[in-house]
Amino acid sequence: MWEVGTPGVVQLPSGRLVRGRGLRRPLPPGPAPTFGLYLLGKPPPTVDWASRWIRWPDFWLPSDRDDARAALHEAWERAAGERVEVACGGGRGRTGTALARIAVLDGVPPAEAVAWIRAHYDRHAVETPWQKRYARTPPD
């Protein structure tokens, strides 16, 4: 598991830990993820752990909402016992939006998701109005 208090690590209400980060920065010190969810407009770089890619252009929303829903749910499930990281280029907009959606899966009320992830991850997370709407969408 990740260590609580490590930069980028978010403790969800259930106690699950998920790390958010920007891929333009070096891999943080410490243990490697066991699963990564990468939110990019093009395929991510190859990593040495299990991973999944959501096609998600910068400042926009996932290209395939059904695939994104399944991937976010997989990340949430894996976080129960694995080191899960969620990452985009800068680590704020797409990553914050995805983390907010994962927080909703974990029990954060959808209307509070953006404020919750800004308080627990990055005060600039979830950058665009459409990302805010998407983050507040109740799970299916």
Alpha helix segments (H runs only) across 20-128: 65-78, 93-105, 113-120
Q: For residue 20, what pLDDT is reported?
A: 98
pLDDT tens across the length of the chain (140 residues): 898 989 999 999 999 999 999 999 999 988 999 999 999 999 999 999 999 999 999 999 999 999 999 999 999 999 999 999 999 999 999 999 999 999 999 999 999 999 999 999 999 999 999 999 999 888 77
**Architecture in CATH for domain 9-135:** Alpha-Beta Complex (3.90)
Task: Please choose, from the candidates 100, 105, 118, 47, the residue with its C-alpha nearest in 3D space to the C-alpha of residue 73.
Answer: 105
Amino acid, res. 106: D
Residue 2 and residue 16 in contact, taking contact as beta carbons nearer than 8 Å: no
Residue 51 and residue 45 in contact, taking contact as beta carbons nearer than 8 Å: no
Which pTM does this prediction carry? 0.96
Q: For residue 123, what pLDDT is reported?
A: 96
Domain assignments of the chain as residue spans, ordered by start: 9-135
